Amino acid sequence: MAAEITRASTIGELRAAGWESRSVRTEIRDNVLARISAEEPIVASVLGYEDTIVPQIANALIAGHNLIFLGERGQAKSRIIRSLVELLDEWTPIIAGSEVNDDPYHPVSAYARGLVAELGEQTKIAWISRNDRYGEKLATPDTSIADLIGEVDPIKIAEGRYLSDELTIHYGLVPRTNRGIFAINELPDLSERIQVGLLNILEERDVQIRGHRVRLPVDVLLVASANPDDYTNRGRIITPLKDRFGAQIRTHYPTEVATEVAIILAEAEIPEINGTEVRVPRFLLETIARLSQFARQSQRINQRSGVSLRASISNYETLVAASIARAVRQRDVIATPRPSDLVSMLPSMIGKVEIEALEHDDDEEIVLALVHTALLATFKESMPIERLGEVIGEFEDGLAVEVGAALPASHYEDLLDQHPLLNEIVAPLSGTSAPERASALEFLLEGLYLSRRLSKELVEGVVSYQSRS
């Protein structure tokens, strides 16, 4: 916005500077089209939706529709909604002192109308940022009309005002977001009475508060989120309010392993430990991503609740933490997770999913089976299958290898030095450091075991791999 406009301090100065009033939908539409013209992203910092969800969002905003996002947990619904704030103008003028962001040219509150009637072009204005034009509420069964719309302020009554005076109203979240975006998370959890009140202020532009009818033509883009099972199957949304959403956008989890890996790397918070560098092999990153993707297809996992992206992120953080602990104990300067550390993810994974199991089933066994499935799938994608027969041949000739999460990286280095074929096979999967090579060797051995090419025996934390024959 031009600097001379933002320097305006009265309605007269604003008008002289050439500022024009727009509805919030027109403002957002103009900014969306400007981003499309400049080939800039409509929604920033959200991966995996570029070709599916983002075009739907753009179409809805250009059409001026209210939006509702349907999806299971952990599909970035809230992040997308909050990112829409960036589509508002950076600064917007309001009548100074207004509680409802009154448009200087078209005030809606009694306070602002009275001020303009008295002072005219000399009415003071203030400038608010785009963040001040965003409101959000997590819907709960106890959400009230006072929260969303407003309530009679007893202090103002005590000061001598009448109940019929609109100035007695303490405005709720929706009016305070006038000329902006208002978001409701988990919309179906609003009681029907509150949904009716919300519909009235959006559709009829009025609301009754304790018998007092307030005419309040708020200009708000309504955006909501909901679980599709609650929204579509249980009849918990009144039909008129549901009809107010011009666009129903179904979010989804990443469909590609690479996308989930990119999200993990972008979102995970890895502690910085002095003297320790974290290096995570690509095959373990892909295993973590595949674990979540297999869980989303498993009949043993409650799919109505979903398997959040936060599960992948938490699993990654936990796996890294296990490698850091080992590096500190063994005085290694590089912390690299190993396949034997994957068991450390069980608490983080179990805490993020709802397991549908029979009484005799163990939660850890169900999740561990998914971990093994994910690791095996990654192994088949990563390993040169044509060379594995040579490795099996060495084991059939009597080779036995012992590994374990507590063993130092030097133990693995000795094994690789003694067996050049193993060294040759794992070299493309690892870096040059001993911890990375140790992880790659474990990956090779565990993959051969899971593909039924080797046998495995666990004794006091040490795993012995040997021929099945």
Helix orientation angle between 282-295 and 309-329, rounded to the nearest 10 degrees = 140
Residue from 66, 430, 421 nearest 225 by CA: 66
Compute φ and ψ for 115, nearest 5 degrees.
Answer: -65, -45
Does 162 score more than 60 pLDDT? no
Q: What is the Cα gyration radius of the chain?
A: 30
pTM equals 0.85
Compute φ and ψ for 134, nearest 5 degrees.
Answer: -125, 130
Fold designation for 3-250: Rossmann fold (3.40.50)
Query: In sequence order, which residues have a C-beta less than 8 Å from that of residue 130 and are 6 or more positions away?
Result: 85, 86, 88, 89, 90, 91, 92
Largest CA distance in the chain: 99
Banded model confidence at residue 185, pLDDT cuts 50, 70, 90: very high
Average pLDDT of the chain, as a whole number: 88
Banded model confidence at residue 232, pLDDT cuts 50, 70, 90: low
- Across residues 21-45, what is the average pLDDT? 93
What are the sequence ranges of the domains in the chain?
A: 3-250, 257-467
Q: Six-digit token pair at 361?
A: 């089933």
Please write the tens of the pLDDT for every residue from 100-144.
999 999 998 888 999 999 999 999 999 999 999 999 999 888 888
Does 357 score more than 60 pLDDT? yes
Q: What is the pLDDT of residue 189?
A: 87
What are the distances in angstroms from CA 202 to CA 199, 217, 314? 5, 8, 40
- DSSP conformation letters of 60-102: HHHHT-EEEEE--TTSSHHHHHHHGGGGS-SEEEEETT-SS--
The CA distance from 329 to 314, in Å, is 23
What are the distances in angstroms from CA 91 to CA 25, 179, 180, 460? 16, 12, 12, 65
Of the segments 38-47, 167-176, 179-188, 299-308, which one has the largest average pLDDT value? Answer: 179-188
Please write the tens of the pLDDT for every residue from 80-100.
999 999 999 999 999 999 989
Of the segments 236-240, 291-295, 456-460, which one has the largest average pLDDT value? Answer: 291-295
Which residue type sits at 68? I
Q: What is the pLDDT of residue 143?
A: 86
- Across residues 428-447, what is the average pLDDT? 92
Does 155 score more than 70 pLDDT? no
